[in-house]
Amino acid sequence: MSRFLFVVPPLTGHVNPTASVGGELLARGHEVAWVGHPGTLAPLLPDNAVVFPAIDDDLESDIRAKRERWLALRGMAVLKFFWEEFLIPLGHAMVPGVSAAVTAFEPDMIVADQQALAGPLVAQHAYLPWATSASTSAELINPLRTMPKVDAWVRDLLHDFAGGDIRFSDRLVLVYSSKALVAGEFGEHVAFVGPALSHRVERVDFPWQRLTGQRRALISLGTLNGPAGERFLGQALDAVADLDLQVIMVAEPRPAPPNVLMLPSVPQLALMPHLDAVITHGGHNTVCEALAHGLPLVVAPIRDDQPTVAAQVVAAGAGVRLTYSRARSADIRSALESVLDEPEYAAAASLVRESFLAAGGAAAAADRLEKVVAG
């Protein structure tokens, strides 16, 4: 049996896939540990999970504050802030904790989220094999390829940090999607394993008794969406007010029509089988969880990888894209009615679901990790 160390940032969507893959490795008898922010990891991992600290509560709070400032930016300022104020500083901050975890746990392999740059850096210094946990597929197609100067600037930052571009391992990249969504040619080391959903822990309560016999839709914009999110949610409430549809909206309490169940958080994965459609900002986890259940989507991307993910959904025929900052209630209603009532959207979502099932999920990811460790 082998020892695997997962290195993750304090972001739920980046931890979730590793929780699933780590759970599969544990079920096979391997030893598994995580290193990151214990407060973020604890609700998402099994009770007996081994966790090493690399981020304390003060740093996690600072990261959340930075991400909130990042949401207010526009244009190239978004990318500049993301790399200079978030990703590179986070990498530096995590190095001591990741190094200490390697010393204490003595892993045979490191599995690093693509935004946890300390993972590959420490792995190289410790002469350990490492794999990338690609929590979003957007960077695989290099969205900066049409902006060579910006691309070169990012590579220079990575060279200063680690002596080279360490975003993706040349041994193994685990991609939690399939080629039904991600176009392009990739090397054998890029493993499209589909969403990793097994072994997941969800500790959020839900009033299941309040679900009605109507069709149901989830509206979720992720954990950070800024003032524009309030505008979008308000328009969405107007859009669904008189529809014969039960809506579960993830938001803080506010006045809502009787057909809307408003909750600050939901057990999203457990809720998926009870839904007919999803309205989302285009977070990779939410999109792939919905498609893994054959659910069509309305996608209103905000920034970061979300426009790329939204484009993947539209190209697959599995949903409708809206302009987040300008979508009005009539637009949201029309898009939602389309994905609910026009069968081609659900049919396309089902095709993506089949590709995900064929990809193998957490079991396929564990297979590939075992092969790397075995040499």
pLDDT digit string, tens, across residues 232-271: 999 999 999 999 999 999 998 899 999 999 999 999 999 9
- The pLDDT of residue 144 is 66
**C-alpha to C-alpha distance for 186 and 96, rounded to whole angstroms:** 33
Q: Does residue 203 lie within any of the structural domains?
A: no
Co-location of 176 and 280 in the same domain: no
**Is 200 contained in some domain?**
no
Q: Quick one: 365 and 353 in the same domain? A: no
Query: Which residues have C-beta within 8 Å of that of residue 158, sequence separation ≥ 6?
Result: 117, 164, 165, 166, 167
**236 in any annotated domain:** yes
Rounded to whole angstroms, how far apart are CA atoms 289 and 287? 6
Shared-domain flag, residues 59 and 10: yes
Helix (H/G/I), strand (E/B), else coil: 286: helix
Query: Residue 143: what pLDDT?
Result: 65
The pTM of this model reads 0.93
**Calpha distance 302→287 (Å, rounded):** 14
What pLDDT does 69 receive? 81
Residues 28 and 167 in one domain: yes
Outline where DSSP puts E strands in 61-188.
109-113, 130-134, 173-175
For residue 261, give the CATH number of its domain: 3.40.50.2000
Total domains, the chain: 2
Residues 314 and 345 in one domain: yes
Q: How many angstroms separate the CA atoms of 214 and 255, rounded? A: 21
Q: What pLDDT is recorded for position 224? A: 55
Q: Are residues 298 and 259 in the same domain?
A: yes
Residue 274 resides in a domain: yes
E strands, 182-286, are 190-192, 216-220, 246-250, 260-263, 277-280
Do residues 303 and 349 both lie within one domain?
yes
List, as own/partner pairs, every contact residues 289-295 make where C-beta atoms lie below 8 angstroms and the sequence separation is at least 24, other chains included: 289/195, 289/197, 290/349, 291/181, 291/195, 291/318, 291/349, 291/352, 291/353, 291/356, 292/194, 292/195, 292/197, 292/353, 292/356, 293/353, 294/346, 294/349, 294/350, 294/352, 294/353, 295/346, 295/349
pLDDT of residue 2: 98
Residues 369 and 243 in one domain: no
H helices then E strands: how many in the chain?
14, 13
pLDDT digits (tens, 9 = 90+) for 27-76: 999 999 999 999 999 999 988 999 999 999 999 999 888 877 877 777 78
**Quick one: 85 and 229 in the same domain?**
no
Same domain, 79 and 146: yes
Residue 350 lies in a domain: yes
Q: Does one domain contain both 218 and 171?
A: no
Could you tell me if residue 201 is inside a domain?
no
Q: Is residue 26 part of a domain?
A: yes
Residues 102, 5 contacting (CB under 8 angstroms) = yes
CA dihedral (46, 48, 53, 58) in degrees, to 10, reads 60
Cβ partners under 8 Å of residue 232, min gap 6: 221, 225, 300, 324, 327
Domain match, 20 and 132 both: yes
Residue 100's Cβ-count burial label (10 Å; 0-12, 13-18, 19+) is middle
User: Is 284 contained in some domain?
Assistant: yes
What residues contact residue 196 under an 8 Å CB cut-off, 6+ apart?
A: 16, 17, 20, 21, 24, 176, 361, 362, 365
Mean pLDDT by 10 residues, the chain (375 residues): 97 94 98 97 94 95 83 80 91 97 98 97 97 89 74 91 92 96 92 96 95 96 68 94 96 93 95 98 94 98 88 97 94 98 98 98 98 94
Q: Whole domain around residue 353: which residue ranges?
A: 208-357
